[in-house]
Structure formats: C-alpha cells, structure tokens
Structure 1
C-alpha cells in the first residue's frame, strides 16, 4: 500500500512542475513580444540614426561617405538651427512653469469643489484628448488678422494685433495653446497627488495657527514633490518635441521666430533631403532630453520625511 501511495504523489509532483514551467514560459513569452517590438521600433532606429549622423546621407545620392563630426559642425554653423535651438529653449523655459502653475491651480480649485467634480474634470480633460491638428487650426483662425480676437479688440476700441504674424508674439501664443491643451493631463496628475496627501497634516497645521498659504508652502508642495518631478520631466520632453502645433499654426514663421528643433529636423529631412544633418540634429535633441531629464531628477527629486 505504501508503494501504491507514493506513485501518484510523484506523478502529481512531476505534473505540477510541468504546469509551473508552462506558466513561466507563458510569462516570459508575453514579456518577450513587447520587448522585441520595443527593440525593433525604438532601439534599432536610434542606433541607426547615430550611424546616419556621421555620414553624408543624401537621399538623392547612392554614396553615403563617412564624414565624422562634419554634420554636427555644419549644424552649429547654421543660423537657422541655432535659432530653432533658442526657440526650443524658450518653449521649455516658458511652457513648463506655465503648465505646472496652471495645472496645479486648477487641481486645487477642483479639489475644493463639492458638487459636479466629475463634470469639471471631464471638461478640463477634453482638450487633451482632442485632435492636436484640429485645436491648432481653430486657434490659428481665432488669431488671424481678421479673426475673432482682433474683431473683439476693434469693437472695444483697441488696435488690431498681428498675433501669429508677429515675430515677438507668435511663439508665446503657440506656447499658450500647448499649455491649454495639456492642462487636463496636468490637472489629473496633480489631483491624484493632492488626494494622496493625508488630511491630518493640514488639520494639525491649521490647529497650530498656520494659514492657507503657509500650509500650501510647507505641507502641500513638499508632499507633491514626486508629482512635480514627474510633471516637469514629462512637460519638458513634450515642449522639447514641439512640432504639431508649430507646423499647423505658424509653419515655423514668421522669420523662423517659432521654428522648433523638431520642425527644423523635419524640414532638413523631408524638404531638403539632408538626412545626415537631420540625424545629427536628432542626436543633439536626444542628448538635450537625456541631460535635462537627469538634471531635473537630481535637482527636484528630494526625499520627504513625513
């Protein structure tokens, strides 16, 4: 009887092992498919762009000679590239703080709403899921010379403005549109962070006599630090990659005053067919995003003791 009893146990043990192995094969197989996709779609093109950036890669020529850093030297001697680089810095320095301030302000207001909170969230989030091209063309129509805003200004007795036709005004209007469209995303991120802050901290501070501003500065902001780090990095990458709004609202004009680095890369590659210069500019953009993200994580990511 003892022998007969041990046989089914070993049989069960071997079958359980095979089921375990099948489970691990299934798990690793599911992980392998997106990994292959990521390597094929993301990693390999990035590595290939490094190869293109050190060659004179003209689509109209069969020969692709190695030129080393020649494409990078050409870029930094190109005034249009330098202008696009300065514009991109402006997009980041103006757009990211504006996005954070507006998103946090709206999140704080919605947090204090007692009725129809879901409706307000939906209304503020709708622009984020709306087509970027459609939004850009609507605002382009609004800020035309004979558009809605100039019509209102004339009715009020003010002088009409150039807006998107002005080298000094256009870039800030594009930034404003980008902030408005990303407001819903920033609002949801900050709302999630605000709702994770224990209410007892603010209640204790209020009992000690701290006013709203003191509670916001010394409690809310420090505890929102991880959310702020995430939001700054995502916003910086988004503004560094400014393309669709610029292309549809101004085409990079007037006088290249709104030309972003990504739009300049697009022009180099698909209008002038200078793939080597375009790949070199892409490598520069990659380096800027990498360094900026690392610096922001180092400076902003502070440990908070509750």
Structure 2
C-alpha cells in the first residue's frame, strides 16, 4: 500500500484544485463552498508561489475555511519552507481558515518519505482559530534537509491533529505531548519505520496513554508502526482508553500477540470503532475479537499472512 490517490474531501468540504479550474476557464465557486487545493505538476511553467499569488488575487480568501497544499515541487525536490512562508505572510487575509492539509501528494508525485517538510509550529501560531491540521511528510536527515519539526505550543481551538509519515521523528510526538491543546479531540500519528527516519519509541507515546493530557481526546490513532504489538500491549492498561470513542491501530505489523494483549487488558466494549486494517491476524484471532467486542465496528480489511516472517507497515517510502 502507498498513498496512491489524492484526497477528495477535507474538513467536511469537497476538494477543488484551483489550478485546474483556473487553467480550464471554469467559473470559481463561492469561497467557503470548497476546500481549495493549490498544487503544481512537475515541470510546470509556473511554480507554487506564483499559483498561490493567483489564488490570493482571484479568490476572496477572507471567506476560505479550508485549504489543501498539494505538490509544491515543480523542478525537483524542494523544501516546504518557501510555500510555508507565503502562507504565513497571507495569514491575515484568511481569518476564516479552520482546516489546513499540508502535503496532499501521491507516490507518483513524491514518495511520502521524500516530502521535504519543515517545522510547522508557525502554522499553529499564525492561525489561532485553526481546528484541523494534517501534515504529510518528514524527510529531514534522510533527504539532507531540515525535516519536519514542531515546538511545544498552546492552541485553544485545535480539535484534530494528524501527522502522516513513513518515518516520524520522536521529537514530533514529544512536542505534541508537551503542548497545551485543551480542545483536541482527535490525534493520529503514522509512525513509519527506522529506515526512513522513524525514531519514535513507545516512551514517546506514553504521555498520551496516561489520560492526563488532552481532556477532550476521544479518538487516538497510533498507526503504521513496526512496534504495533508493543503499542497494543501498552494500550491494554492505559487510562486514556476508557474515555476514547474510537481507536486506530491500523497500517502496522499488528499480530495475534498484540490482539491477545488487548483482550487480556481493560474492556474495550465501550468503543464505537476499532480500526485494525492492514494487519497480520489469524482468522481465529479475528473471530475472538469479534466475539469479545460485540457492538464495536472493527475493520479487519487488508490482512496479511499470519506468522509471516517479514511483516511490513502500509506506508514507508
């Protein structure tokens, strides 16, 4: 599995590619009716900054509520630093912005672990009313650039935060854990693998498990991991689980070992959903989970072979 398709909806709105619409001569919709995507193709005549300027000129950005940043490298791999600076410079022109997705990029455009991300802390400081932030990519030492970063912040309104990565540095979850996010309801990390910069350890995740951080948290996703069974074992007795409505342990190397730990731990029957897609569970264990968690919607799709010597995460390179 790879990231092989662009998102079609974001922040409750259909995604509209600004460049495609403008170049095609179509009429632009109302500013708040869509999630506006700004992206360029490789070898495009105009770079991302130029297209961003067109967007600011053509659209009433004071009414834009959702923004999607697509591929910004039109002439080979490039850091997100330039586009980020342009977005921050225009922050006062987007007072209604509530949802921001950085990096709607497929593997055909740029492998996820080659997306040259930077410190995204300024996004949260520049947009104090933002309620949803998704960041895809990491790079860093692997690509020889700055790499993804985050500093501890206080943000009063952020309700959903997700980092999608083929290898997430431990500094990122540690910074999230040190942040004050009183409104945060949904938190997800794609942890990835060591070969692509994934240095997050179980200890980095423990602050999210003890239940003392983020009192509004109702959904937790610890996904795409080589330590999926260890995470499951820690969650089996984690205080935070009792107040979750949904739990996502998908995309990793989750096996019967991790499932046994969950079943031997605290009750999970209060959950509305448990996402385990892309797993390595036996049929017998899937049956055990269904019988033990009646009433819980469980996703067992994309199962691999149980006991397989080489288990792999869904998204790495």
Same topology, TM > 0.5: no
Q: TM-score, normalised by structure 1?
A: 0.21
Give 1 or 2: higher strand fraction: 2
When Rg is computed on C-alpha atoms for both structures, the one with the higher figure is 1
Structure scoring higher RCO (CA < 8 A, sep ≥ 6) equals: 1
Q: TM-score, normalised by structure 2?
A: 0.20
